Amino acid sequence: MSLITGVGAAFVQSVLPVLLIGGLGYLVGRARTLDLAPITGLTVLVLVPAIVFDSLARATLPRDLLTRLVLHVALQMAAIWVVTVLVARLAGWRGPDQGGLLLATLFSNSGNVGLPLALFAFGPDGLAVAGGWFAVMSIGSSTVGPYLAARARLGVRGALGRVMLQPIIYAVAAGVIVNLGGFSLPGPVANASRLLAGGAVALMLLLLGLQLARLTARDEASGAALATVIRLVAVPPIAWGVGRLVGLEGMAFAVAVIQASTPTSISSALWALEFDARPALVSAAVVLSTVVSVVTLTVLLAVLTGR
């Protein structure tokens, strides 16, 4: 199969379904002015913790694989941090400026974009691996994310205090306890968890479209372009190299690389806005990286799946 045919197949089978659902949210957001605060709050307070808890509690990944995923997330984040800080210093950015650039590059949209991509490209087994990667990344994005955004304004102690208020932290802890302890959830709790997690992906994609409809890449265009180059051009080879380093292979390797290479997380824009850490820059990076990722993820999927 030629590269062009493979790229086309990867786009139709994996990227297009994500675009269709996110695009529907975007069209609704452009057509009507909706109050996104309750939807976003519901997503952050209930749905994202639910899918993280469900992914961790039900994870049947071998401990060895889960360990490798933890190493992959941690090491690629450390490498991205170093690259971003070096670039920020070369640009003369400090404080909230540097924090904003880190928010735009460190955290991938492995929930809204990565989970559906893994499901469409690799099936339920791929989704299980992607859920494990997403759960590990969620620990970082729900702790390091608000800390980075708040540190310059609130100081270390204030930033840590805000981190401890995030429900996803307790969802992670509960999921890990259930999984490692070998506990079985009561039937009603298990069914409720499954229902919430099952609807979370679609709603997260719709919310992504709704939020993108309100953002513009015109402001902070140069900074957003810089963040997008780091996130979509520099990160894939970093994720690839780290994946080989920690011993990931086959489908697990492909899923980990895809998860790491998704565009800037919407949650980064929310943290930047709440703590005034260059919110225009981070929001513009979300828009620009999401648009450009249609091409980069399609090509990457074609290469990883051998299409």
CA distance 97 to 211: 23
State the pLDDT at residue 210.
81
Residue 128: pLDDT above 70? Answer: yes
Query: Residue 8 — pLDDT band, cuts 50, 70, 90?
Result: low
Q: In this predicted model, which residue has the larger pLDDT, 113 or 161? A: 113
In this predicted model, what pLDDT tens digit does every residue of 213-242 receive, in sequence order?
776 656 577 888 999 999 999 999 999 999
Q: In this predicted model, which residue has the larger pLDDT, 129 or 244? A: 244
Cα 152 to chain centroid distance, Å, stands at 23
State the pLDDT at residue 1.
47
Q: In this predicted model, which residue has the larger pLDDT, 64 or 55? A: 64
Q: Identify the CA nearest to 110 among candidates 177, 228, 45, 18.
A: 18
Tell me what the pLDDT averaged over the chain comes to. Answer: 82
In this predicted model, what pLDDT tens digit does every residue of 63-97 receive, in sequence order?
899 899 999 999 999 999 999 999 999 988 887 77
Residue 120: pLDDT above 60? Answer: yes
CA distance 89 to 42: 37
In this predicted model, what pLDDT tens digit does every residue of 252-290 receive, in sequence order?
999 999 999 999 987 787 777 667 777 778 878 888 898
State the pLDDT at residue 234.
97
Residue 10: pLDDT above 60? Answer: no
Could you tell me which residues come within 8 angstroms of residue 241 by beta carbon, excluding any fewer than 6 positions away? none
CA distance 20 to 2: 26
| Count of other CB atoms within 10 angstroms of residue 95 | 12
State the pLDDT at residue 44.
72
The reported pTM is 0.79
